[in-house]
């Protein structure tokens, strides 16, 4: 069965909460398999506006320390040293959305096929963790 991630602004139905939670769990496994460490966790209560637990990971990469938060249908990322990150990612196709001032490097999968979005995150994490220093 092909499942799409909810679009941005989708209503927070029980089904959407389940999809967000499953996506976050899959991304968590990808991060942990690459050595990321969970540094923060916020538990969602029954009246939570986002409807799923929020997680923040720290991942050491050749481009510097990367904070990563899977957020249901997008990935919030930020390098702690934007200059170093830009220098390492400059030749890579995904570097163009790196904010050179804040180090933010986010990826949105609104409405995307669930498995294709997981595959894209896998490729992204493999790329950023294997770039030569």
What local confidence, expressed as pLDDT, does residue 47 receive?
Answer: 64
The predicted-structure confidence for 64-111, as pLDDT tens digits, reads as follows: 999 999 988 889 999 999 999 988 887 765 667 889 899 999 998 888
| Residue 3 pLDDT exceeds 80 | no
SS3 content of the chain, % helix, strand, coil (to 5): 40, 25, 40
The predicted-structure confidence for 37-55, as pLDDT tens digits, reads as follows: 999 887 766 665 555 668 8
What local confidence, expressed as pLDDT, does residue 17 receive?
Answer: 81
| Domain extent listing, the chain | 14-130
What local confidence, expressed as pLDDT, does residue 61 receive?
Answer: 93
Q: Which residues face 107 on adjacent strands?
A: 75
User: Between 3.90.1150, 3.90.1570, 1.10.287, 3.40.190, what CATH number should domain 14-130 receive?
Assistant: 3.90.1150
| Residue 56 pLDDT exceeds 70 | yes
Tell me phi and psi for residue 6, to 5 degrees: -60, 150
41 or 56, which is more confident: 56
Strand, coil or helix: what is 37? strand
pTM for the model: 0.85
| Contacts within 8 Å (CB) and 24+ apart, 48-55 | 49/12, 50/12, 50/20, 51/12, 51/16, 51/17, 51/20, 52/17, 52/20, 52/21, 52/24, 53/21, 53/24, 55/24, 55/28
């Amino acid at each position: 069965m092909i499942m799409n991630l909810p679009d941005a602004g989708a209503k927070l139905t029980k089904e959407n909460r389940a999809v967000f939670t499953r996506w976050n769990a899959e991304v968590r496994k990808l991060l942990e398999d690459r050595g990321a460490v969970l540094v923060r966790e916020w538990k969602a209560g029954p009246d939570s506006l986002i409807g799923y637990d929020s997680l923040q990971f720290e991942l050491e990469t050749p481009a510097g320390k990367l904070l990563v938060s899977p957020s249901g249908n997008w990935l919030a990322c930020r390098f702690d040293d934007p200059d170093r990150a830009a220098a390492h990612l400059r030749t890579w196709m995904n570097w163009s959305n790196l904010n050179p001032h804040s180090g933010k490097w986010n990826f949105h999968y609104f409405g995307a096929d669930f498995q294709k979005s997981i595959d894209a995150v896998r490729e992204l994490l493999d790329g950023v963790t294997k770039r030569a220093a």
